[in-house]
Amino acid sequence: MHNTNIKSERNISGTTSIFLDILRLFAAMSVFLLHAYAKWYPGDVVDANEPGDYAHAAVVVFFVLSGFVISFTTIQKNRGALQYAQARLSRLYSILIPGLIITAIVEVLILYISPADFAEFSRGGSFPRYLLTLGYLNEIWFFSAGPPINGPLWSLTFEFWYYVIFGLWFYRSSGWKSIVLILLVCLFVGPKILIMMPIWLAGVLSYKLPRPNISSNMSWLLILACLIISFYLIGHVSPYPSTLGSYPLFWAGQFVTDYILGIFIAIMLWLLPNGTSQVSYISPGKLKVFREIADLTFPIYVLHMPFLFLYKSVVNYQENNFSQFLQASIIVFCLCSIFGFFLNRTRHVWNSLFGSMLFKLRSILNGNSYTRKLFNL
């Protein structure tokens, strides 16, 4: 097995960890509020051929952050391949499965409350879309088949396959068979997902590369500069080579533009100073509350779109009505937070479930010498 003894001196606790939490919280809230704004101010939606899609840029931030954090947890807290799979599956499915159930319920409610609003997002039969999304198959190769009422789910499929490919590489056994397995997975998911993977890998590199030997003050100054440059790029670099949502690349359509942004986000994470275990200026109680708020980013990201559609269908919807937009944003945020609060507390249940399933799978694979060697069991 490769890389199991690799350790990095990078430390992302303390102030550095708080910065990462702020960054992911800001990205999630940006996606949520921009989608809400687009619902109530459709005339202000950025043209697909023009720069300025900050919601999609936030997903690029998520990809880089994901590569960075997964590298940290895999290298510093390495407990083996099965524990890696258990952690990744429980994290994703603890939100995805309830999220799909909630999305389906909302879709049925809208069908009965307002058929006209239902027609706004309906694309024919929904059930196959939910099944494909459940198996992270909704974005493979050249089709995009997630539930239209919950568009942001596309990025979860990308993330899932990045976890799979990274895990297969990190825990690969010696010999060519493990490499063939990785190549087969890459062939299965297709070019659309792979073409965005360099953005995720930029996050991996930003963690693994030795950070520059500069002071913390200089690091934060350069990080601020990267943030400013990133905002400028989002607002001024046009989508290339194509637009988002168009065949055949759909949400990977502007991958070159996304690469450019991803590089600066990765540089920013690479510059992060090593954190300290203590944060003296924040009390432990306040820090715990902040962590719980930051942990709501995933539920907010997964649940906000169906709740926005539902709110729009039950009120006397009025375009360009700021008061209604504000009310919708507050109510949907509260709903996502309440559901997220309880869903985050079920993580241990999912962790135990997948631990049991993977243990049984390992027992089956151990019975075959070929699979035992291939998966390094």
Q: Per-residue pLDDT for 358 more than 50?
A: yes
Which of helix, strand or coil describes residue 246?
strand
- The confidence score (pLDDT) of residue 277 equals 53
The alpha carbon of residue 236 and the mean position of all alpha carbons in its chain are separated, in whole angstroms, by 24
- The answer to whether the pTM exceeds 0.85 is yes
Q: What is the pLDDT of residues 252-284, one digit of tens each?
A: 999 999 999 999 999 999 999 876 655 556 667
Amino acid at the residue 80: G
pLDDT bucket at 173, cuts 50 / 70 / 90: confident
- The confidence score (pLDDT) of residue 14 equals 75
Q: What is the pLDDT of residues 101-116, one digit of tens each?
A: 999 999 999 999 999 8
Distance, in Å, from the CA atom of 354 to the CA atom of 240, rounded to the nearest integer, reads 40
Distance, in Å, from the CA atom of 371 to the CA atom of 377, rounded to the nearest integer, reads 8
Share of the chain above pLDDT 90, in %: 71
Distance, in Å, from the CA atom of 313 to the CA atom of 366, rounded to the nearest integer, reads 53
